[in-house]
Structure 1
Amino acid sequence: MALLKPMLLASLLTALPVLAQETVPAGAAALPPAEWDPPALQPFVATYQAFYKGKEAGDATMRVVHDDGARWRVDMAVRGRRGFAGVLGLNLEQSTVFDNEGSVYVPLSQSTVKKALFLGRKVTGTYDWREGTAQWQGDLKKERQRPIPLQRGDQSALLLNLSLMRDARPGQPLRYRYVDVGRVRQYEYQAAAGTETVQVGDLSYDALRVYRTNGGNDETIMWIANGVPTPVRILQREDGEDAIDLRLTEYQGA
């Protein structure tokens, strides 16, 4: 059952701590922040090829939907189709409803559903900004079902990815407070000084690398490209070796 945890973290994308040193790879171009044009929030459907330790394990779909006015929703689904994940019939879905307030994305509700051959799990959460608390219920330990005091700027796991795409600027640090599935964590990120060429399948992108910097022996790295509303690649490394690797295969406006 060891693969369940990495695939779950792949759906969360940003849930692992990262320890990485800033370097500018050969061929990378230093880029003034004023010349970086961050991708705008827009509806899209993106498909990723999922690898685990270098071997194809399945696929993932990220979707952003504009409901009405300031209301949006971001969904992520991970499907195990090969190897151990395929045998287990692993299927993972997450969703966050949020308001776009321009400088901040405000989470309103969150859900996680995990399905596999011999187990299932469902968790739902509500961010109640009037009461100033967030709370989850479902298949969780009791201590993680307690109300959590909210602070402006708090992010769910999925929403954090959209915020990173909006906020990242070459060479700039970023800080967020993560509140999801009954847990609170502080995340600090760093954007590379310049863009670099990222090869994904038959396509190459001029992309900005963004990575977390505060703690742990694992790394989670995201590459963002101008004009692409979703990350072109998301890589989780464990003890210096590639673990989960999501590579964009196609995207289109929703």
Structure 2
Amino acid sequence: MLSPLRPLLLGLALAGSAAPTRALEPFVASYQAYNEGKLAGNASMKVTPRAGDQWQIDLNVKGTRGFARLAGLNIEQSTVFDTRDGQFRPLSQATVRHALLMGKKMVGTYDWKSGTAQWQGDIKKNRRAPLPLQPGDMSALLMNLAVIRDAAPGKQLAYRVVDNGRVRDYQYVVSPEPETVTVEDLSYSALRVSRSNGGNDETIFWVADGVPTPVRILQREDGQDGVDLRLVEYQGVP
């Protein structure tokens, strides 16, 4: 899941549905970024191993010159995490929003020993207090990996996200059958994973078997398409 983007071989058609689980693998993926149906920039998502049993996921979204004023299309995010009992457990999180006149940076720390998470930086005062953690809590960015891990036809998914000084619950429904997702000359057979408790604020992922990242991530508000990331290339990282 992306925030503030609300929480991202080729040339082959990928058939089948997503498996219930898959091993975490390093990769780098490239996306086209659309806004309201128009090509507005590009994005990259990367997962890399760190020292010990830690990992890092990074998302960079960059708008073209004409869309530079849109904060959602000029953002860098990262989460350092490990895995415990089959869950992605965030350890630290950072968000940098680029704007024409002023940028913003927020940094959070997940202290699992004390059971709290806390943010500092360019964040509202009412979001700086420590927040209680529960087993299974994630950052918004980690939802992009969780839906890959969990999606199966007809399944219902639930995630508790602690991110940028807020706690939010996300519920998703996975489509019973895959559908075709086409990006330029690429075609994927993918399960649609739709948020069911967002009201007028929707987030939809498309998950294809064998692909370690969502092949499409769409945000909709009041029934209108907003930011839309569409996968154009990915590769494993040795």
Same fold (TM over 0.5): yes
For the residues of structure 1 that align with 2:78 and 2:60, how far apart are their CA atoms? 9
Match of residue 191, structure 2, among 195, 204, 208:
208
* 2:103 corresponding residue in structure 1: 120
User: Once the 2 structures are TM-superposed, how far is the Cα of residue 86 of structure 1 from its aligned partner?
Assistant: 6.7
Is contact 1:155-1:179 (8 Å) kept?
Answer: yes
Listed one character per residue, the Cα deviations across residues 61-101 of structure 1 (whole Å, up to 9, x for unaligned) are: 1000011342100000011114232799x631000000022
Match of residue 198, structure 1, among 181, 206, 220:
181
Greater helix proportion: 1
User: Once the 2 structures are TM-superposed, how far is the Cα of residue 13 of structure 1 from its aligned partner?
Assistant: 4.5
TM-score norm. by structure 1 comes to: 0.84
* 1:236 corresponding residue in structure 2: 219
For the residues of structure 2 that align with 1:186 and 1:10, how far apart are their CA atoms? 14
Alpha carbons of 1:154 and 1:37: their partners in 2 closer, same or farther (altered >3 Å)? closer
Alpha carbons of 1:81 and 1:39: their partners in 2 closer, same or farther (altered >3 Å)? farther
The amino acid that maps onto 2:48 is V
* 1:99 corresponding residue in structure 2: 82
> Secondary structure, in 3 states, of the residue corresponding to 2:154?
coil
The amino acid that maps onto 2:207 is I
* 1:48 corresponding residue in structure 2: 31
Alpha carbons of 1:197 and 1:132: their partners in 2 closer, same or farther (altered >3 Å)? same
Superposition CA RMSD, Å: 2.2
For the residues of structure 1 that align with 2:120 and 2:2, how far apart are their CA atoms? 22
> Secondary structure, in 3 states, of the residue corresponding to 2:152?
coil
Identity over aligned residues, as a percent?
60
Structure 1 segment 78-227 matched on structure 2, within 5 A: 78-85=61-68, 91-227=74-210
Is contact 1:14-1:161 (8 Å) kept?
Answer: no
* 1:6 corresponding residue in structure 2: none
For the residues of structure 1 that align with 2:37 and 2:157, how far apart are their CA atoms? 30
For the residues of structure 1 that align with 2:162 and 2:204, how far apart are their CA atoms? 20
Listed as ranges, the gaps of 5+ residues in structure 1 are 1-8, 16-28
TM-score norm. by structure 2 comes to: 0.89
Alpha carbons of 1:87 and 1:147: their partners in 2 closer, same or farther (altered >3 Å)? closer
The amino acid that maps onto 2:176 is A
For the residues of structure 2 that align with 1:209 and 1:13, how far apart are their CA atoms? 18
Is contact 1:99-1:105 (8 Å) kept?
Answer: yes
Aligned residue pair count: 229
